Structure 1
Amino acid sequence: MIELRHLTYFRTVAETLHFGRAAALLHISQPPLTRQIAALEKELGAQLFDRSKRSVQLTAAGKNFYRDTTEIFKALERARHNVITSSTGKSGSLKVGFMMSSAYNILPSVTRHYSAAFPEVDMRLSEYVPNLLATDIEDGKVDVGIMYRPEDCSRLDSLTIFSEPLLAVLPKYHPLAGKPAISVAELAEDSFVSIPRTIAPVVFDIIVNHCQSNGFRPRIKLEANLQQTIVNLVGEGLGVALVPASMQAMHLDTTVFKPLIKAPMVEVAVIWNKENRNPCVRTFADTAVEVWRKVKPAAYK
């Protein structure tokens, strides 16, 4: 039976055309090497070398065998490379979920840098609302997510990328539109457009708690699952809203964004299941944190 060591012996002799030098490279003595080559020739039923006292040459069969075994060793090297890279997160596949607001700040830079650093990772992106993303991460349908930190992290690991303040978004002609900054208490009589608590409980609670700490509970007139939809509805004059600072990137002509006095903060994090052993998860999480340090906008510094 032909073993890998027989092929290694054969290729070393073929490349040196000298049994003594080949034996030295292989760290064995010459007689066992000679016997192993003879056993290989017997197994193949073909002479691989023409031997004389002065020289060793490959036969036609030996040249063909050398060419064919080259492919075997290339395949072995690929296999070795794949094992190393897949175990270190340098190759493989990665399913990434993201909430839409991250597309206005961190997501484009992270995916661009990660794809450049790990070109052998097959990365697939899917847009989610926060609560469904957390559920799919827990269920193993998604490897990693960029999202607001979930209410229940008991089955999840996380790495905070950044925290961002909430801003007030107002219709363009709102009475407070000309002020440089406002207190949320000044919106006590306004109707609010909000994300439902079932979709993003952490953000919903931060908004309600901030209003209550300023003396009122917000009158929620409309609810929408996506932050950009909320901003659009505000622009249509259907209420006011508190949204993450990143939503300023929408640049709508119908709305104005105003800093809040003592603005509450929301954390954006990389989230993954504690039981997920995909090594690409950690390389993605580390890339997200590192990229944000380099590219974060001045408003976050």
Structure 2
Amino acid sequence: MSINFRFDLRHIKAFMAVAESLHFKKAADSLFITQPALSRLIKGLEEAVGTELLARTTRQVALTEAGRLFLAECKEGLRVLERGVHLAQAASQGDIGHISIAYNDFSINGVLPDIIERFKEKYPNISIELTHMPSHEQHRALQDCSIDAGFMIGPLNAPGIETLSCAVEELLVVLPLRHPLAGRSSLRLEDLKNEKFILGADNSWKAFRSRFLKNCQQAGFTPNIVQEATTSTGIFGLVAANMGISVYTECVYKFTRRDIHLIPLEGIEHRVETVAAWNSAFISPSFAHFIRHLQDEPLPA
């Protein structure tokens, strides 16, 4: 049922002052108003509520049963209001809030977990929503502000988009354990021209694939791609099954798989940079904290 309140916080404070002191003069003095003004406030409140809240005689003031129950609810209501003020102030300062972050495979398997963990230690009341999203899709999501930040393959040069480099990683060759090249200490791209490749699917690994294919062309061959996978785990599984080889970044060392072999890829300028990107058109107070956190984070060696 909707109630049309005909009283405000002044009436509530006046009633609580009288209810707690049970003395009109003391209550008026505590509120810095006159007794007649206080009496008018109490009368107006009782008329609005529709019942007597205080029983008055010439010698004493007492709470009616209705007044006792109303007082308890007034106290609870003020506590809720005070909490609302506190939450609003905290939100305006960014200490409470929500951040949406998109990530690709390289960032979630690399630098991003440590960044998130340390940020949550500083700001436990800021919730973070993480969404897997290929780098090229993150570009669009940043433009329409559907995410606060994206962790993607860089560099990225787009109007209104700011970026910060978070990691730069060398490439490794991922081989089955019993592959003939597994005993080498390093490999060059030319050594792989006759190999069967397993790469991430084009719809989700477009940025990485386009750069890697360009490197292969510069090395004088087009890779024979025999299998595709949508996830890093899928790529490693296919390599372990001896379906082919792949190329991945140094963050693969964080995986504990014992059924693949990793060899540094030399003689190639292609390094995978992970950047954090955001649209400067809208930065919430909570996300401003995240940006400062990123700027304070040391770039991994």
TM-score interval, smaller chain:
0.7 to 0.9
The yes-or-no answer on 1:269 pairing with 2:279 is no
Give a deviation string over 1:24-52, Cα, whole Å, max 9, x none: 54344555334423433344454433456
The yes-or-no answer on 1:180 pairing with 2:192 is no
The yes-or-no answer on 1:168 pairing with 2:167 is no
The answer to whether the 8 Å contact 1:101/1:246 transfers is yes
Alignment of 1:138-149 (within 5 A): 138-149=143-154
1:243 maps to 248
Q: Whole-Å Cα distance in 1 between the matches of residues 271 and 138 of structure 2?
A: 21
Alignment of 1:86-97 (within 5 A): 86-97=91-102
The answer to whether the 8 Å contact 2:216/2:223 transfers is no
The answer to whether the 8 Å contact 1:134/1:150 transfers is no
Q: Whole-Å Cα distance in 1 between the matches of residues 254 and 11 of structure 2?
A: 64
Letter in 1 for 2:37: P
TM-score by length of 1: 0.74
Shift of 1:66: 0.8
Q: Whole-Å Cα distance in 2 between the matches of residues 22 and 268 of structure 1?
A: 64
Give a deviation string over 1:128-147, Cα, whole Å, max 9, x none: 33323433444454444333
Shift of 1:232: 3.1
* Secondary structure at 1:68 match in 2: helix
* Secondary structure at 1:132 match in 2: helix
- What is the percent sequence identity of the aligned residues? 27
Unaligned runs of 5+ in 2: 1-5
1:79 maps to 84
Q: Whole-Å Cα distance in 2 between the matches of residues 200 and 274 of structure 1?
A: 26
Shift of 1:78: 3.6
Change (3 A) 1:207 1:160: same
Change (3 A) 1:58 1:114: farther
Shift of 1:167: 1.9
2:41 maps to 36
Shift of 1:253: 3.2
- Residue 16 (structure 2) aligned to one of 11, 17, 26: 11
In the alignment of these two chains, the number of paired residues is 294
Q: Whole-Å Cα distance in 1 between the matches of residues 222 and 257 of structure 2?
A: 24
Q: Whole-Å Cα distance in 2 between the matches of residues 4 and 79 of structure 1?
A: 15
Alignment of 1:1-301 (within 5 A): 1-50=6-55, 56-112=61-117, 123-149=128-154, 151=156, 153-154=158-159, 156-195=161-200, 199-208=204-213, 210=215, 215-222=219-226, 223-261=228-266, 264-276=270-282, 278-286=284-292, 293=298, 300-301=300-301
Change (3 A) 1:30 1:221: same
Q: Whole-Å Cα distance in 1 between the matches of residues 34 and 173 of structure 2?
A: 81
Unaligned runs of 5+ in 1: none
Q: Whole-Å Cα distance in 1 between the matches of residues 72 and 23 of structure 2?
A: 19
Q: Whole-Å Cα distance in 1 between the matches of residues 27 and 45 of structure 2?
A: 16
Q: Whole-Å Cα distance in 1 between the matches of residues 102 and 288 of structure 2?
A: 15
The answer to whether the 8 Å contact 1:194/1:220 transfers is no
Change (3 A) 1:10 1:270: farther
The answer to whether the 8 Å contact 2:109/2:254 transfers is yes
Shift of 1:275: 4.3
Letter in 1 for 2:38: L
The answer to whether the 8 Å contact 1:161/1:289 transfers is no
The answer to whether the 8 Å contact 1:10/1:37 transfers is yes
Shift of 1:2: 0.6
Give a deviation string over 1:231-270, Cα, whole Å, max 9, x none: 3333344443321111233333332112334664322233
Letter in 2 for 1:59: T
The answer to whether the 8 Å contact 1:146/1:271 transfers is yes
Q: Whole-Å Cα distance in 2 between the matches of residues 260 and 26 of structure 1?
A: 78
Shift of 1:7: 1.0
Letter in 2 for 1:219: P
C-alpha RMSD over aligned residues: 3.8
* Secondary structure at 1:260 match in 2: strand
Shift of 1:21: 4.6
Give a deviation string over 1:8-29, Cα, whole Å, max 9, x none: 2222333344445544543445
Q: Whole-Å Cα distance in 2 between the matches of residues 30 and 22 of structure 1?
A: 8
Letter in 2 for 1:244: T
